[in-house]
Amino acid sequence: MTNQPVAAKPESGGAISDFGIDTTTQSTGEAVRDFFVRLRSGDLGSMPAVLGLGVLVLYFWTQSESFLTLDNTANLIAQGSGKMIIAMGLVFVLLLGEIDLSAGTASGVCAAVMAMHYVRAGNLVGGMGSTVFYVFVGGMLVAAVLAVIMRIWAGAVFAMVAVTIAMLGVGPNPWIEMLLALCVGTAIGVITGFLVSKIGMPSFVVTLALFITWQGVILQFIGQGGVFGIGTQPVLFSVANGNLSVLGSWILFAVGIVGYAGVVLGEHYVRVNKGLVTAPTPIVVGKVAAVTVIAALGTYAFTLNRSPNDFVVIEGVPYVVPIVLVLLVIGTYVLNRTRYGRHIYAVGGNAEAARRAGINVPKIRASVFVVCSSVAALGAIVYSSKVGSVDPQAGGLNTLLFAVGAAVIGGTSLFGGRGKVIHAVIGGLVLAVVENGLGLLQQPAAVVNIVTGLVLLLAASVDALSRRRATVAVR
């Protein structure tokens, strides 16, 4: 029954023997061999996306001299980060094998409310009209009640914060506006989560319906042909367009690297000392060194003046880089180190097993939609800031498909159970490079859409094929 070369030999009296061939450490060579074995067995992770990203960058570099300039690189990152952030939230939903088609337009609703709060100087009643305003507040209250019913306390608190901000008519303040966007996103997620996990409708249908609903809500808030300009508010504008100072960039580098190396190396040596399963030390140290070098080079490049205009100086790491990094760290920590994250993977891998282990599966299922919509609201802040305005198309068009595409291209499985937050970042970079590069090559939108769609299709096939391969390998 075993596919291991060392099969269990029947022994006299079934004596307890030592732990046989179980190992906790392996040599570097073994680890490398193991890595290729895993690749062959279909556990690809983000490998295809990283390779694809390299190929794409090389290709556009040879085709357009303006592609790999500092200016364009910074621009590319700022352009892609909104969808990248939405994708980070979607990873949570995809981990359960669910889908949230409404994340894009839900983020648009958050952007519209945020922008209306700024444009109307905090007067949401005037901006929406009293009927719409009371429906809006009522919706937030319903979300708060649903969150209490589902015992998702954070959802209830955030929804009530949104109600409070709306009812008090708090004056314009960029931080209040961003908080409002986040809270509206959370409330939307509570509603989605309730419909999926308590009512029991398939997430595809619920979120497809909400996708259309939120599109209508955005149009109602902004009005046909209307635009809310937020580019005049310095804080809101600089979220995606501003940069850290040169000193700030190096401080970010130092804090990031010390933190990363501290966590990775510290954990490695604790595990070695306790005799636990560890990767070979050279590989761990090499990984940290590689990240340090790449981060240092990147920070250095961004601290050079990249302005195409001689009279303006643009230097420093764009704000979106620390924003994405912080979300990446939080998301990775939640999924890998907390009980909640462990339970998300368990429900995605085998919901029945999770239920029998006493995990509250409906609550986990609802909560991932709350996470997804809340994170999507943060994405909305970034992409609205990049454009400097919010129009009725905010979060519409292919925002959602780009975000799903980013997660899947990065290596998150559509079948649930496998995925990491960093997949959204890598996949988001791939799509940002495709969009930006084809734009520089003067390709029409038709070509951009076709290529993006094909890349997504390719990623989904890799996912499906590797999954089939993994299943075959088990039997």
Partner 1 sequence: MSEPILEVTGLNKSFGPVHVLHDVDFTVRAGEVTALVGDNGAGKSTLVKCVAGIHPMDSGIVRFNGDPVSVHGPRDAAKLGIEVVYQDLALADNLDIVQNMFLGRERGGAWLLDEASMEQAARDTLASLSVRTVKSVRTPVSSLSGGQRQTVAIAKAVLWESKVVLLDEPTAALGVAQTRQVLDLVRRLAEQGLGVVLISHNMADVFEVADRIATLYLGRMVAEVPTREVTHGQVVELITAGRSGDLGLARPETATV
- Please state the closest distance from residue 97 (CB atom) to partner 1, in A: 11
Asked whether position 346 contacts partner 1 by CB under 8 A, the answer is: yes
- Please state the closest distance from residue 32 (CB atom) to partner 1, in A: 16
Q: Please choose, out of 164-172, 210-218, 318-326, 342-350, the segment that lies near partner 1 by the rule CB under 8 A.
A: 342-350
Letter for the amino acid at 300? Y
Could you give the residue ranges of the DSSP H alpha helices within 303-420? 320-337, 339-349, 351-356, 361-387, 399-410
Contacting residue, 332, 350, 393, 449, with partner 1 by CB under 8 A? 350
Q: Which helix (H) or strand (E) holds 228?
A: strand 228-229
Asked whether position 357 contacts partner 1 by CB under 8 A, the answer is: yes
In the numeric block, the tokens 């490049």 are attached to 301
Q: Please choose, out of 257-265, 272-280, 318-326, 426-434, the segment that lies near partner 1 by the rule CB under 8 A.
A: 272-280
Q: Please choose, out of 2-10, 141-149, 383-391, 439-447, the segment that lies near partner 1 by the rule CB under 8 A.
A: 2-10
In angstroms, rounded to a whole number, what is the distance separating the alpha carbons of residues 313 and 329? 31
Contacting residue, 120, 271, 287, 469, with partner 1 by CB under 8 A? 271
Asked whether position 472 contacts partner 1 by CB under 8 A, the answer is: no
Asked whether position 29 contacts partner 1 by CB under 8 A, the answer is: no
For residue 438, how many other CB atoms are within 10 A of its CB?
Answer: 21
Asked whether position 2 contacts partner 1 by CB under 8 A, the answer is: yes
- Please state the closest distance from residue 31 (CB atom) to partner 1, in A: 12
Asked whether position 3 contacts partner 1 by CB under 8 A, the answer is: yes
User: Which residues sit opposite 229 in a β-bridge?
Assistant: 389
DSSP labels for 443-467?
A: --HHHHHHHHHHHHHHHHHHHHHHH
In the numeric block, the tokens 């302005």 are attached to 307
Rank residues 62 and 336 by Cβ distance to partner 1 and give the closer one.
336
Asked whether position 349 contacts partner 1 by CB under 8 A, the answer is: yes
CA-closest candidate to residue 440, choices 82, 58, 55, 76: 76
In angstroms, rounded to a whole number, what is the distance separating the alpha carbons of residues 437 and 444? 12
Among positive and negative, which fits the CA dihedral 157, 161, 163, 164? positive
Contacting residue, 33, 40, 151, 356, with partner 1 by CB under 8 A? 356
Task: Pull the structure tokens for residue 277.
Answer: 């399963």
Asked whether position 281 contacts partner 1 by CB under 8 A, the answer is: no
Scored b (16 or more CB within 10 A) or e, 79-89 reads bbbbbbbbbbb
Task: Pull the structure tokens for residue 144.
Answer: 């708060």
For residue 93, how many other CB atoms are within 10 A of its CB?
Answer: 31
Rank residues 23 and 224 by Cβ distance to partner 1 and give the closer one.
23
Among positions 401-440, residues that touch partner 1 (CB under 8 A) are: 417-418
Determine contact, residues 166/133, Cβ cutoff 8 Å.
yes
User: Which residues sit opposite 441 in a β-bridge?
Assistant: none
Asked whether position 16 contacts partner 1 by CB under 8 A, the answer is: yes
Q: Please choose, out of 67-75, 116-124, 245-253, 466-474, the segment that lies near partner 1 by the rule CB under 8 A.
A: 466-474
- Please state the closest distance from residue 13 (CB atom) to partner 1, in A: 8
Asked whether position 277 contacts partner 1 by CB under 8 A, the answer is: yes
Asked whether position 31 contacts partner 1 by CB under 8 A, the answer is: no
Asked whether position 9 contacts partner 1 by CB under 8 A, the answer is: yes
Contacting residue, 27, 62, 164, 338, with partner 1 by CB under 8 A? 338
Q: Please choose, out of 140-148, 258-266, 341-349, 425-433, the segment that lies near partner 1 by the rule CB under 8 A.
A: 341-349
- Neighbour-count burial of 36, counting CB atoms closer than 10 A to its CB (0-12 exposed, 13-18 middle, 19+ buried): exposed
In angstroms, rounded to a whole number, what is the distance separating the alpha carbons of residues 319 and 328? 14
Asked whether position 270 contacts partner 1 by CB under 8 A, the answer is: yes
- Please state the closest distance from residue 329 (CB atom) to partner 1, in A: 14
Number of residues that bind partner 1 (CB under 8 A): 51
Asked whether position 340 contacts partner 1 by CB under 8 A, the answer is: yes
Length reported for the chain: 475
- Please state the closest distance from residue 458 (CB atom) to partner 1, in A: 23
Determine contact, residues 24/278, Cβ cutoff 8 Å.
yes
User: Which residues sit opposite 318 in a β-bridge?
Assistant: 243
- Please state the closest distance from residue 388 (CB atom) to partner 1, in A: 38
3-state secondary structure of 121: coil
- Please state the closest distance from residue 269 (CB atom) to partner 1, in A: 12
In angstroms, rounded to a whole number, what is the distance separating the alpha carbons of residues 311 and 97? 52
Asked whether position 238 contacts partner 1 by CB under 8 A, the answer is: no
- Please state the closest distance from residue 24 (CB atom) to partner 1, in A: 7
In the numeric block, the tokens 């590319």 are attached to 76
Q: Which helix (H) or strand (E) holds 390?
A: strand 389-390
Q: Please choose, out of 130-138, 182-190, 291-299, 353-361, the segment that lies near partner 1 by the rule CB under 8 A.
A: 353-361
CB half-sphere exposure, 168, CA atoms < 13 A? 11
Asked whether position 41 contacts partner 1 by CB under 8 A, the answer is: yes
Which chain residues interact with partner 1 by CB under 8 A?
1-4, 6-10, 13-24, 41, 270-271, 274, 276-277, 337-340, 342-343, 345-346, 348-350, 352-359, 417-418, 470, 473-474
